[in-house]
């Protein structure tokens, strides 16, 4: 092998520091050559090596009675009964989407789909979590439209419904949009497939698309701040082909039950390099690859290019030698490449060949367990003070209409209509108002799913904001009667080398862990995306929570919309008159308080009430507070609301007793946690009240579902059409 001089790491695409390079030389006893530097730089990047987050992630709860596969594989898996597992994962494609929004978002969807079907699971639903700058800025609109189109294009072509998600607009995301994609799949327990190498001599195949130059250095590109040269980084962005991936998905899922596949791994970040290293590491083996055997769609590709290309729609298989001819023939019937590119070894090293000549050799532990980790100085930011409150508005109805029309609250219909959420005909609750619900075929069960995180809260207090993200996700599931069974997360933060950003990351992880333990839900998979900064300006911290819940009897599911004129409308939970950090105050002030024990009890009441068929609807109070939640339930049901004139004074008294603002705008628009707007047949009021009292959760009747009009004596009197028109503004 040729040996590269010290200067070979000068290129910013390597991402290795001088100290890291010196460590590599010491451990190898020599200088690595250029190909080895590329492999090391990819595996030691933040994106692959989790250098800053790995020590922190150990604080999270990852086990539970239902957990079959926790973090460390392509995706996590939990038992949902009837011999079935739910497989789930969320990942980011932030940097690529900032450079080329359509392909960045599309290939993010493609990658998360492969994470699911390489576990042997059929994807049944997609969700997303998106962040952009204000839409009155041209670049933000360009990114917004490109990302939404890319998500819809790939998911629609694959025939996987995109059933839910969320989006926020904030100036901190103007240069660094966030594009997080979540996928949920179902697999029979016996068919769960893992990605650990088998016996020495097993053959390694690369199946799917031919390899090109797209995405080379994608992993290192995603592990650094963006700068003014973003247009020059377009070659780092992968290009997707969803129709080819559809063939790959169906071929792999049809082949797996035949028992010829030992392991299967997605070719994602760092391409063949990371997939080969991870498969070998999980099996405690080594691996030998000959890059000359990899099918190519471009001429002139070097071994370096082949090892680091992130061309999409590819998976790595490990197959016993006697099964190779049948596997190759099988994939040929799907018009898919299946190249036998190497074999599993027992030497604990990755050897890279070029037409039989060895061009690189590195010990597997140096690329996995021995990747350095860093514990940085953490510098807390001062907690924001509560701003002086403006005078109470003279027209509370006008204030409500303005809130309903704000970009962070208004209808997301223009986004969801881009996605096909009905394909497969299993979607029971459509996107637009809380958690989605997808039935599990062949059973009485269903899965509820959601993504949540409020960046205003996590900016003001990363720990409490992250805990609220978990609580809100579980609250959304409770509204469907679902028991939360698993979390997948995506931790989006700025440069961890800055003490403030590292503090945000550390605090948010502690908040996630605290809330997950309190609510009894493990984190089984996830992703970390750091360096979301441009020219030293970082995003608001965004620990996105994706959560899945199990519904034992799907006939009990209720939606968030009012259903029947004359039904009682109730508020379950505290009065919540906390204006701090609210959309009403423009996100200023400290994060709202959170009582996790009260949160747990309130959610239990809603789940039990749903199971006992006491409810007609359930909707959580979140952005915009009580008045917005009432309006959304009315709009969704094409009905109205008539408030009890005696209730506002009672709510003001409760707010004052709790040390909160004795103001009507605080009662209506405050974003206190652990609250639900419920509706029920008046005949069920006694049983529902008794259930809430049993669990010591406050409940009070607010009013009645009306045929038309949205009014509350002394507060506001609006036509249903006014309320609907404000909320249904077109993003």
Catalytic residue numbers read 47, 93
Q: What single DSSP character describes residue 708?
A: S
Extract the tokens encoding 330.
């099988």
First to last CA, the chain: 57
Alpha carbon distance 313, 619 (integer Å): 39
C-alpha closest to that of 575 among 406, 412, 706, 698: 698
C-alpha closest to that of 479 among 627, 604, 565, 632: 604
Question: Which pairing describes strands 263-266 and 162-169: parallel, antiparallel, or unpaired?
Answer: unpaired
Alpha carbon distance 87, 184 (integer Å): 6
Question: Which pairing describes strands 203-208 and 537-538: parallel, antiparallel, or unpaired?
Answer: unpaired
Alpha carbon distance 287, 342 (integer Å): 7
Scanning 118-221, the segments in alpha helix (DSSP H) are 138-158, 218-221
Three-state secondary structure call for residue 89: strand
Burial class for 138, CB neighbours closer than 10 Å (0-12, 13-18, 19+): exposed
H or E segment to which residue 489 belongs: strand 483-492
Hey, which bits of 196-336 come out as E strands? Answer: 203-208, 263-266, 286-290, 314-319
Alpha carbon distance 500, 391 (integer Å): 34
Alpha carbon distance 493, 499 (integer Å): 12
Q: What single DSSP character describes residue 433?
A: S
Q: What single DSSP character describes residue 482?
A: P
Alpha carbon distance 440, 422 (integer Å): 14
């Amino acid at each position: 092998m040729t040996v590269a001089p010290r200067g070979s790491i000068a290129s910013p695409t390597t991402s290795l520091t001088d100290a890291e390079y010196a460590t590599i030389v010491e451990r190898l006893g020599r200088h690595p050559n250029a190909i080895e530097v590329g492999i090391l730089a990819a595996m030691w990047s933040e994106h692959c090596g989790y250098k800053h987050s790995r020590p922190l992630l150990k604080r999270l709860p990852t086990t539970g009675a239902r957990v079959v596969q926790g973090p460390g594989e392509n995706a996590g898996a939990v038992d949902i009964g009837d011999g079935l597992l739910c497989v789930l994962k969320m990942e980011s494609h932030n940097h690529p989407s900032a450079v080329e929004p359509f392909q960045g978002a599309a290939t993010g969807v493609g990658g998360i789909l492969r994470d699911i079907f390489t576990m042997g699971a059929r994807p049944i639903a997609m969700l997303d979590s998106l962040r952009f700058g204000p839409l009155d800025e041209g670049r933000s609109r360009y990114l917004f439209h490109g990302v939404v189109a890319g998500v819809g294009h790939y998911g629609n072509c694959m025939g996987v419904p995109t059933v839910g998600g969320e989006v926020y607009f904030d100036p901190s995301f103007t240069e660094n949009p966030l594009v997080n994609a979540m996928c949920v799949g179902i697999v029979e327990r016996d068919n769960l497939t893992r990605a650990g190498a088998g016996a020495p001599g097993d053959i390694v195949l690369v199946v799917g698309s031919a390899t090109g130059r797209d995405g080379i250095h994608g992993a290192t590109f995603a592990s650094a701040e963006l700068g003014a040269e973003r247009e020059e980084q377009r070659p780092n962005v992968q290009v997707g082909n969803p129709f080819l991936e559809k063939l790959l998905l169906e071929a792999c899922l049809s082949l797996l039950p035949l028992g010829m596949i030992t392991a299967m791994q997605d070719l994602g970040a760092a391409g063949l390099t990371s997939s080969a290293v991870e498969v070998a590491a999980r099996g405690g083996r080594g691996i030998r690859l000959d890059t000359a055997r990899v099918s190519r769609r471009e001429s002139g590709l070097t071994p370096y290019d082949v090892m680091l290309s992130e061309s999409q729609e590819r998976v790595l298989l490990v197959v016993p030698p006697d099964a190779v001819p049948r596997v190759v023939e099988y994939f040929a019937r799907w018009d898919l490449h299946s190249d036998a590119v190497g074999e599993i070894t027992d030497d604990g090293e990755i050897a890279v060949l070029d037409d039989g000549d060895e061009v690189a050799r590195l010990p597997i532990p140096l690329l996995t367990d021995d990747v350095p980790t860093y514990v940085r100085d953490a510098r807390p930011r001062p907690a924001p003070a509560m701003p002086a409150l403006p005078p109470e508005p003279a027209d509370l109805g006008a204030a409500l209409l303005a809130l309903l029309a704000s970009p962070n609250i208004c209808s997301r219909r223009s986004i969801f209509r881009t996605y096909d959420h009905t394909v497969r005909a299993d979607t029971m609750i459509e996107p637009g108002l809380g958690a989605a619900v997808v039935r599990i075929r062949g059973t009485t069960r269903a899965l509820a799913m959601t993504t949540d995180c409020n960046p205003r809260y996590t900016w003001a207090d990363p720990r409490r904001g992250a805990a609220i993200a978990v609580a809100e996700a579980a609250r959304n599931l409770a509204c469907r009667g679902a028991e939360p069974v698993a979390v997948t997360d995506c931790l989006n933060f700025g440069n961890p080398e800055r003490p403030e950003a590292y503090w945000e990351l550390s605090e948010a992880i502690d908040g996630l862990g605290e809330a997950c333990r309190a609510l009894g839900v493990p984190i089984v998979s996830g992703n970390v995306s750091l360096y979301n900064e441009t020219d030293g300006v970082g995003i608001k911290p965004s620990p996105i929570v994706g959560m899945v819940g199990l519904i034992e009897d799907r006939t009990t599911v209720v939606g968030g919309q009012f259903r029947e004129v004359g039904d009682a409308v109730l508020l379950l939970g505290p009065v919540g008159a906390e204006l701090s950090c609210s959309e009403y105050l423009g996100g200023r002030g400290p994060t709202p308080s959170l009582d996790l024990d009260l949160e747990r009890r309130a959610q239990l009441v809603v789940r039990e009430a749903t199971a006992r068929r006491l409810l007609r609807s359930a909707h959580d109070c979140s952005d915009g507070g009580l008045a917005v939640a009432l309006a959304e339930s009315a709009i969704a049901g094409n009905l109205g609301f008539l408030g009890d004139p005696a209730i506002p004074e009672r709510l003001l008294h409760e707010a004052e007793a709790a040390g909160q603002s004795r103001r009507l705008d605080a009662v209506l628009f405050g974003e206190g946690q652990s609250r639900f707007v419920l509706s029920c047949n008046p005949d069920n009021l006694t049983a529902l009240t008794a259930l809430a009292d049993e669990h010591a959760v406050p409940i009070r009747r607010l009013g009645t579902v009306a045929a038309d009009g949205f009014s509350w004596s002394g507060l506001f009197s609006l036509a249903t059409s006014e309320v609907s028109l404000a909320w249904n503004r077109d993003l």
